[in-house]
Structure 1
Amino acid sequence: MTVEWGTPVGWTGTRKEIAAMYGGTRFGGMETPSTSANVLLFTDPKVGRENGYEFDGWSADGDVFSYTGMDRIGPQKVHKGNLALRDHKLNGKAVRLFGVSGKAAVGNGQDRIYLGEFAIDDDHPYSTEDAPGVDGVMRTVFVFHLRPVGEILRRDEDLSSKAADPTDAGSASRVPLENHAVEEFERAGTEAGTGKKREQDLVNAFQTILKSRGRELDRFKVYPKGSSMPLFTDIHDATEGILYEAKADATRNSVRAGLGQLLDYRRYVDGRPCRLLLPAAPNADLLELLAEHDIATVWRVGDTSSFELHEGGSTRAF
């Protein structure tokens, strides 16, 4: 017997009550009960952040609610709740979204509040994004894009700090350096934290040089095609129209990573000149690799405030 939906938008209650009415368990974030034609989604921004998810919530620039799929370790798979959510229209299931009400429920965590019915976006049902698992290892996750169906409850506490409506073209906009958002889950662990600090120290030193020469500096906020999460470049010399990406060391792995980032950014920033910023001179073979892709290299000379530029096959003081 299939139970009909009878819960109004704004209703609050416990997971136990919801399970009693519509089936499913009291603990999963995505429930596919057999006793009702629904996919039940439970969102909690605090829990999401603890698991490395910065996606969930209303986009700041549209009517899409982003929701991260299931699987806490390893790349997420199209199975179980992820499959049910993706194919809910095909299977005649309604998507019901519950948030956290803010009220304590005796013996069962926080009460839930029914936010309304949603449906997968037809044009961009989901995007594949990077996020850490609970083990701290980076992996890919599904971020489903949901649009309201009928009456819904829209609350400020359900706004996402980062997500935007995905587009077919992607976009890039200039943003101030002081307002940039660091990719907080780019790497995990003490070693990564040390590397990030070395990278930021290098960026700060180079910014000081550029500012002393009267350069206007900012950075780009890039939304890749079909993605709901932004990427942030390191430095954009707006005066000269040059994009810089910094790396904490000059190893082959870091240079290759920086090359990939610059090639990715360049597709969205009008193909402007790009330079890789390093704390030391890389192997000559790597300079050739970068040059083959029309990317110049700038590196710091020891622990000094001087930098050198390799461009057009020759090296000179920057």
Structure 2
Amino acid sequence: MATNVEGMNPGDVRTRTEIRAVFGGSPQGGICPSEDMHSVNLYSDPDVGEQAGYYDGWLAEEDELGPVFEYTGAGKSGDQTFDGVAGSGNRAILRHAEQGRVLRVFTRVGKVPGSDTKTHRYLGTFTLDGMQPYVWRRVHGEDGNERDVIVFRLRPEGTVQRASQDVIPPAEHTTAELVPFQVVTAAMFQSDPATSGELPIPKQSGRKRSSTRKAAPNAETSGTFVVPEAFSTKLSLRAAAAATIAVRREAELTQAYKAHLESAGHQTGAFQIKVQGLTSTLRTDLYDATDHVLYEAKGSNSREDVRMALGQILDYSRYVKAPGQEGEPKRVILLPAAPAPDIYTLLDRYDVGVIYRSDDGRFVGEVVPKIDQ
């Protein structure tokens, strides 16, 4: 999609009235969909965000697909949601590709001289990250209460402005906070929820699906997520399809094992980690607070996935500390099937355990808690 529309280029500063004349949307609010202009306009105000406990902006650290812009969803108090009226703006972001709209980001820069009219700088057009469109994050709101917010991960689509003042401030200190585990929703995937049903190969296109099969209802949203073409192109269509299925399997596996832990009376959660000097926020897959065990889940038992999980859990576990628990947690990798025998030798070297799901659905491993019948 073209970035330069009606003379508005990334870096240009405009009032909201001027922006609406080009891209439509409502005169107020942070997330402003426009059906006529095929646009979802996202307004970021650094001052408002900081008071509400979050920052919007570029991550200083890029991944293998390039830069990421984090944008926090709608809802200034309480937990954010995709449900109902309160979640309508968040749904508009999530479904933008499905509905044929582009995301456009604006950040507030000041006011028109001699007036209270705010001005906004246009950053350009974006799309949601194809593998991880959003993450849940625990923040301390302006009322002092903790809450869960939706942080969308946006990828540039075309020319964008990446100004230094738009980079998220790095963490001043390293922190690891135990936070509630958040259920992954159907909206993170192209088709059926991760909690049930088969795992079909997703369509290899960013266009709206023509299939008559409907996504199953979900507690938060029944919307489908369309992988953008830019994502499929960078990873190749085959790799993008495989990666999407792996993420779905990982989510289903994590939720199933969490349910097993809780059936055994264990308390669960996850750790949200900020590392001094970095802008990214890390989040572990699953933590058993009862037995002080940290889990890293993967959607396959391949050597590549196990090696990735090994690196992640060795990294994360350094920061995990819990009241009443001594030292680092027990480290365990959660897999959908048993790995190759030599993988056990590798993991033993680093004192990392394995739990896998057997053909009959049971979880197998030394630290799997037994459920009293």
TM-score under structure 1 normalisation? 0.53
Question: Any stretches of 5+ residues in structure 1 without a counterpart?
Answer: 164-178, 187-219, 233-256, 279-286, 295-318
**Does the 8 Å CA contact 2:34/2:40 hold for their aligned counterparts?**
yes
User: Which residues of 2 match residues 213-224 of structure 1 at below 5 A?
Assistant: none
In 2, Cα distance between equivalents of 1:260 and 1:152: 47
Measured after TM superposition, the shift of residue 222 of structure 1 is 6.3
Measured after TM superposition, the shift of residue 82 of structure 1 is 0.5
Question: Partner residue of 1:61?
Answer: 61
**Does the 8 Å CA contact 2:17/2:27 hold for their aligned counterparts?**
yes
Measured after TM superposition, the shift of residue 44 of structure 1 is 2.2
Q: Cα deviations across residues 220-244 of structure 1 (Å, max 9, x unaligned)? A: 9668xxx951479xxxxxxxxxxxx
Structure ranking higher in strand proportion: 1
Question: Partner residue of 2:92?
Answer: 84
Query: Are residues 1:140 and 2:133 paired?
Result: no
User: Which residues of 2 match residues 97-136 of structure 1 at below 5 A?
Assistant: 97-102=105-110, 104-136=112-144
Measured after TM superposition, the shift of residue 272 of structure 1 is 7.6
Change (3 A) 1:276 1:101: closer
Measured after TM superposition, the shift of residue 43 of structure 1 is 1.4
Change (3 A) 1:222 1:47: closer
Q: Cα deviations across residues 179-225 of structure 1 (Å, max 9, x unaligned)? A: 624579x9xxxxxxxxxxxxxxxxxxxxxxxxxxxxxxxxx9668xx
**Does the 8 Å CA contact 1:44/1:100 hold for their aligned counterparts?**
yes
Query: Are residues 1:229 and 2:237 paired?
Result: no
Question: One-letter code of the match for 1:60?
Answer: A
Aligned length: 204
Measured after TM superposition, the shift of residue 95 of structure 1 is 0.5
In 1, Cα distance between equivalents of 2:128 and 2:41: 13
Q: Quick one: percent identity of the two aligned structures?
A: 32
Secondary structure class of the residue paired with 1:32: strand
Question: Partner residue of 1:25?
Answer: 26
Secondary structure class of the residue paired with 1:269: helix
**Does the 8 Å CA contact 1:131/1:141 hold for their aligned counterparts?**
yes
**Does the 8 Å CA contact 1:124/1:145 hold for their aligned counterparts?**
yes
In 2, Cα distance between equivalents of 1:42 and 1:61: 23
**Does the 8 Å CA contact 1:105/1:111 hold for their aligned counterparts?**
no
RMSD of the TM alignment (CA)? 4.0
Query: Are residues 1:94 and 2:102 paired?
Result: yes
Measured after TM superposition, the shift of residue 102 of structure 1 is 4.4
Question: Any stretches of 5+ residues in structure 2 without a counterpart?
Answer: 180-271, 297-311, 331-373
Measured after TM superposition, the shift of residue 61 of structure 1 is 0.7
In 1, Cα distance between equivalents of 2:71 and 2:106: 11
Question: Partner residue of 2:40?
Answer: 39
In 1, Cα distance between equivalents of 2:176 and 2:322: 19
Secondary structure class of the residue paired with 2:153: strand
**Does the 8 Å CA contact 1:52/1:132 hold for their aligned counterparts?**
yes
Question: Partner residue of 1:298?
Answer: none
In 2, Cα distance between equivalents of 1:77 and 1:14: 29
Question: One-letter code of the match for 1:57?
Answer: G
Change (3 A) 1:258 1:89: closer
Change (3 A) 1:276 1:182: closer
Question: Partner residue of 2:166?
Answer: 158
Measured after TM superposition, the shift of residue 10 of structure 1 is 1.8
Question: One-letter code of the match for 1:180?
Answer: H
